[in-house]
Amino acid sequence: MRVALLATASLSAGLVAAQGTQPAPVIKANPSGASFEATLPAQAFTAGSLDGNVKGSIVASTPADGVGVEFKIQFENVPQEGGPFLYHVHEQPVPADGNCTKTLAHLDPYKRGEDPPCDSTRPETCQVGDLSGKHGKPNSTSTTFTATYVDRFLSTSPQSNAFLGNVSFVFHFANKTRITCANFQSIGVSAAVGPSTGGGQSSAASTATVTASASAGTGSSSSPSSSAVAFSGDAAISTLSMSLTMLSVAAAFAWVF
């Protein structure tokens, strides 16, 4: 019995270390009217057997209720092999040389990590930037892909650590090779942010200012900083979840001894 309890406690601690400490919080009270667009460039970063680059864009906007981000996805000239394809928000913008590798890893402010793979039935447990994991992957059976959805765990406010407006997205082959990438740039307006009604937003009113950047995509870069300031409250669930997990592990050891 003691051996089993010790093994369970050790496994719990290991899972916490590997997968992060908590589900992503729902981001509320995003700035009204904020909107960003990332348009893929003419030239692919990794062309492979492509006839030209994947074409298309992602538009990310604050939905009417201010909860999360509404995405409108449109891709064309999707390759006929190498799918299903992946696309993610990454943690850095595309630099001036167009090197998609320099966008680094997926946007993952809560340090969940890529493994185990995202479970689309529990999107709060996935990496924040894993859009295709949460909402569906383009495949090789069609040269076009369109989708519209709301992701409740991303933000259009620079005050959130889930902010996407100063970073990029990358389109990948199934083996994770980076085909192409583009920076998000503002196409929206500044707006006052009202009091929060829940996770991911400070209770005091604040103002989010959205500044248009230069043309972005493979071969160009955007000017905003790549570091976003977290909403007070974005990490609240993280602290609580970690505390509860460690208490559970400690209790198991205490019972044994």
Say if domain 26-233 classifies as CATH 1.50.10.10: no
Q: 207 forms bridges with which residues in the sheet?
A: 192
Percentage of the chain surpassing pLDDT 70?
65
Tokens for 182? 């583009």
Q: What is the pLDDT of residue 89?
A: 99
Average pLDDT over residues 98-121: 97
Mean pLDDT (the chain) is 76
What global pTM score does this model have? 0.70
Domain ranges of the chain: 1-24+239-257, 26-233
pLDDT in tens, 121-159: 999 999 999 999 999 999 988 999 999 999 999 999 999
User: What's the CA angle centered on 96, arms 94 and 97, to 5 degrees?
Assistant: 95
Question: Around Cβ 227, how many Cβ atoms within 10 Å?
Answer: 12
Backbone angle region of 103, left / alpha / beta, with phi > 0 → left and psi within -120 to 50 → alpha: alpha
The pLDDT-based confidence of 7 (bands split at 50, 70, 90) is: very low
pLDDT tens profile 72-105: 999 999 998 999 999 999 999 999 999 999 999 9
